[in-house]
Structure 1
Amino acid sequence: MVTIAGNGMGDYDFSNLNIDISKFDKIICDPNFLTESAEHKKEEAKNILKLKYKDAKQYIIDNYEKEELLYVVTGSPLFFSAGTIIARNLPNDEVKIINNTSSKTYMLEKLFINETDVDTISLHGRVDIDLENFLQNKYTFVLCDKYTIKRLKEALFYFEKDSIKAALGYKLGFEDELIKEINLLDFDESSIDIEQPYVLLIKKEFESKNIISEDIEFETERGMITKKYKRQLSLQNLDLEPNNLLWDIGAGSGSCAIEAYKRYKVKTTLFEKNETRIEFIKQNLKNHFVVETKLLEGEAQEYFEELKETPQRIFVGGGGVEVIKQLPKLYEILDTNGILLINAITLKHLNLMLTTLNEANIEYEIHSLSLTTYKGKLDLVEPERQLFQIKIKKEEK
């Protein structure tokens, strides 16, 4: 039989356990637990095994039928814990979980915040931010490691400092506990020992924009923008999924990448060479509070070799002849099972695209789109330029 219990907040010891540990044959805990304190008898200490996760899991699986085991985890066994992972590997009648206070619960109790107003992500030992749960609710609780603040500053590069507030929870439950409001975007990590446990609670101070945007919501150069209906159709054809990485080549106003983030919660990299449009893109990224985005200035094809990232989706909405010549390279860079979508509005570019793809033996499907809108009280006709759309799926070999 295995009992999985959390030690709650504070020192890594057994002082917060409301159970008699002497009844167990073995007590398993992380190597950083303090097991030599005065509250433990010497004979009890002999039964304590300090094991890392993989070794602890294996010992429990090998011995749960033969011994009464207590597995002590930090915080709560139900909150980003190895406890539930191990429990799922055991028969239901051979495991019992005893909950305790998690760092999230502890912070919400201290700051009087309703749990339903909070989403949670973990950046402890992780690089990727789960965009489905980041800055979608009123608050976002973040489990942190020593790289987290730097990582968040990168993700929030286009945010103004008054767009968010953050509370730092440092060494929760310890004698030198610290809970205070910080300016996350300008925070100096050297002011705390980031090797020690800490968490962040980030509050949205902005109202999210409409998921589907009108064209007038974007700053543009002389109306250089993928119009609303074509923008929606293009995003639909990309088959975007949350946390995909989307490259938007020839980004123009940035409207496609921005709306892709808002609708589908994807990461974006924008390529644009026109200096005026670049300034509009920067303003649009700020206005729409876009997270996890990069704007690369200059000729797009010059970045293809040096970027150390693998996009799951690539959208080519501009870039000219030199980008068209690089379509085979983009197909090579594209992740397996990814999608490359190319928009063309001139027969000259369409012909060059098809020639380039055929010479590289890349399979594609093509659609021609004609769209006319009627505006005003008189329903004035406003025909849009015909759009040719090429869709390529990179199948797994």
Structure 2
Amino acid sequence: MADSGPWLTIVGIGEDGWDGLTAPARAAIRDADSVMGASRHLSLLPDTGGAARIAWPVPFADGVPMLLARRGERVVMLASGDPFWFGAGSVVTRALEPGEWVAYPAASTLSLAAARLGWPVETIHSVGLHARAMETLRPLLAPARRVLALMRDGAAVTDLAAWLVAEDFGASDLTVLEALGGPRERVRRFRADALDATDIAHPVAVAIEPVGDGRVLPCASGRDDDWFDHDGQITKRPVRALALSALAPRPGEMLWDIGTGSGSIAIEWLLSDPTTRAIGFERDATRLARARDNADRLGAGRLDLVAGDARSQLAGRAPPDAIFIGGGLTPDLVEALRALPRCRLVAHAVTLESEALLAECQGRHGGDLLRIELAEARPLGRKRGWKAHYPIVQWRVAW
């Protein structure tokens, strides 16, 4: 806790500059010893007296130590719009104690865009694509979605349109919103496959209404296997749905997927909620690369992948809330995992030997055993018959 109250004032500034600031924000700037912000933000201020003007460096992280070094002075930090909506505010305040800072936000691009489009804010899915891949949008490509994406610059808007075309959503409606709230404001509407503007100015956001023949990624776990590139070593769709049900992902939780293979379990875990986290352990380099490609393509690029044998790679990792083992469970691995804090474990077995191990583990440590027997209708001569898959035994336990 700061002894003498806040030394840092975080001011959200819009494209209307000084005129759009609240009275407390203006007073903080007038009284400041120094004002830090991007050169564009500093240029929006009139002459405010003797405060030193310090341009925030690129990359952004380099400016945080510069700011902290001025602790004890009266410092104003300028940020775009609402500093806590895809903004710099949360990055800076992570390094501060409560009471060291106060914030005066301006209207965010989200609220301004909603006002221009007539969209209820609560219906909009917002994404910051300044430093993220376009594939972050993949789970959101559905005709009922309304998406607002913050873009790096005009070239990125062109890249977005090309990516939508490649995903067979070229008929999507794009509303390009430039410099909202200021004298340079401009709002234009295009189809993704007909976007030909070369004069898109920063700052820019794009409102996306997906339209097209592209595949829509389902919301429920147990997506079709062909969403994932694999070599046959994949937890199949019905079994994957049962595994995710047993793992029971919750917001903010961490999964360890041991022997991740194609990454399908970890990816579906991550798709369940944007705050979930996952680490996939895999010994095979080819499968590891394939899991990376699958995760990136399906909008789960935050999947952390670790090469090597899981038993030797567990130390020092963020502790899991849930663990999935698709195969290769050993008594030593069970004992190592049980030394972890409170956790849920789901393990699958196909062979008689691994099934016997799961039965032994269940007898020793408790939990539930489930035998999964599936069969699919296949041609049998001129008729059809049931083709059975190998039965799978699932052990689910929590401690």
| Structure-1-length-normalised TM-score | 0.55
Which amino acid in structure 2 is aligned with residue 386 of structure 1?
Answer: A
Query: Any gaps of 5 or more consecutive residues in structure 2?
Result: 1-6, 227-231, 273-284, 295-304, 311-322, 328-347, 353-371, 378-383, 394-399
Report the aligned-residue RMSD.
4.9
Query: Aligned match of 1:153 in 150, 162, 166?
Result: 162
Q: In the superposition, relative to structure 1, how do residues 116 and 133 fare at CA in structure 2: closer, same or farther (>3 Å)? A: farther
* Kept in 2: contact 1:133–1:140 (CA 8 A): no
In the TM superposition, residue 310 of structure 1 has moved relative to its aligned partner by 4.7
In the TM superposition, residue 77 of structure 1 has moved relative to its aligned partner by 0.9
- List per-residue Cα deviations over 1:178-201 (Å, max 9, x = no partner): 21221123323x53246x221111
What is the DSSP-based 3-state SS (H/G/I as helix, E as strand, rest coil) of the residue aligned with 1:191?
coil
Determine if the alignment matches structure 1 residue 166 to structure 2 residue 174.
Answer: yes
Determine if the alignment matches structure 1 residue 16 to structure 2 residue 20.
Answer: yes
* Kept in 2: contact 1:24–1:70 (CA 8 A): yes
Q: Supply the distance in 2 between the matched residues of 1:133 and 1:213 (Cα, whole angstroms).
A: 13
User: Number of residues paired by the alignment?
Assistant: 280
What is the DSSP-based 3-state SS (H/G/I as helix, E as strand, rest coil) of the residue aligned with 1:92?
coil
What is the DSSP-based 3-state SS (H/G/I as helix, E as strand, rest coil) of the residue aligned with 1:63?
coil
Determine if the alignment matches structure 1 residue 49 to structure 2 residue 54.
Answer: yes
In the TM superposition, residue 54 of structure 1 has moved relative to its aligned partner by 3.3
In the TM superposition, residue 126 of structure 1 has moved relative to its aligned partner by 1.9
* Kept in 2: contact 1:3–1:70 (CA 8 A): yes
- List per-residue Cα deviations over 1:56-102 (Å, max 9, x = no partner): 322332222x2111111122211111122212221211110111011
* Kept in 2: contact 1:121–1:140 (CA 8 A): yes
* Kept in 2: contact 1:165–1:184 (CA 8 A): yes
Q: In the superposition, relative to structure 1, how do residues 187 and 70 fare at CA in structure 2: closer, same or farther (>3 Å)? A: same
Q: Supply the distance in 2 between the matched residues of 1:56 and 1:213 (Cα, whole angstroms).
A: 42
* Kept in 2: contact 1:123–1:129 (CA 8 A): no
What is the DSSP-based 3-state SS (H/G/I as helix, E as strand, rest coil) of the residue aligned with 2:40?
coil
Q: In the superposition, relative to structure 1, how do residues 17 and 36 fare at CA in structure 2: closer, same or farther (>3 Å)? A: closer
* Kept in 1: contact 2:82–2:105 (CA 8 A): yes
Q: Supply the distance in 1 between the matched residues of 2:350 and 2:163 (Cα, whole angstroms).
A: 37
Q: Supply the distance in 2 between the matched residues of 1:133 and 1:106 (Cα, whole angstroms).
A: 25
Query: Aligned match of 1:28 in 12, 36, 43?
Result: 36
Matches within 5 A, 1:162-201: 162=171, 164-188=172-196, 190-193=197-200, 196-201=202-207
In the TM superposition, residue 130 of structure 1 has moved relative to its aligned partner by 3.4
Aligned-residue identity in percent: 14
Q: In the superposition, relative to structure 1, how do residues 167 and 157 fare at CA in structure 2: closer, same or farther (>3 Å)? A: same
* Kept in 2: contact 1:372–1:383 (CA 8 A): no
In the TM superposition, residue 116 of structure 1 has moved relative to its aligned partner by 0.8
Q: In the superposition, relative to structure 1, how do residues 133 and 385 fare at CA in structure 2: closer, same or farther (>3 Å)? A: closer
- Equivalent position of 1:252 in the other structure: none
Query: Aligned match of 1:311 in 291, 306, 324?
Result: 291
Which amino acid in structure 2 is aligned with residue 24 of structure 1?
Answer: A
Deviates more, 1:145-154 or 1:197-206: 145-154
- Equivalent position of 2:83 in the other structure: 77
Q: Supply the distance in 2 between the matched residues of 1:156 and 1:264 (Cα, whole angstroms).
A: 25
Which amino acid in structure 1 is aligned with residue 68 of structure 2?
Answer: I
* Kept in 1: contact 2:11–2:76 (CA 8 A): yes
Q: Supply the distance in 2 between the matched residues of 1:384 and 1:149 (Cα, whole angstroms).
A: 50
* Kept in 2: contact 1:247–1:313 (CA 8 A): no
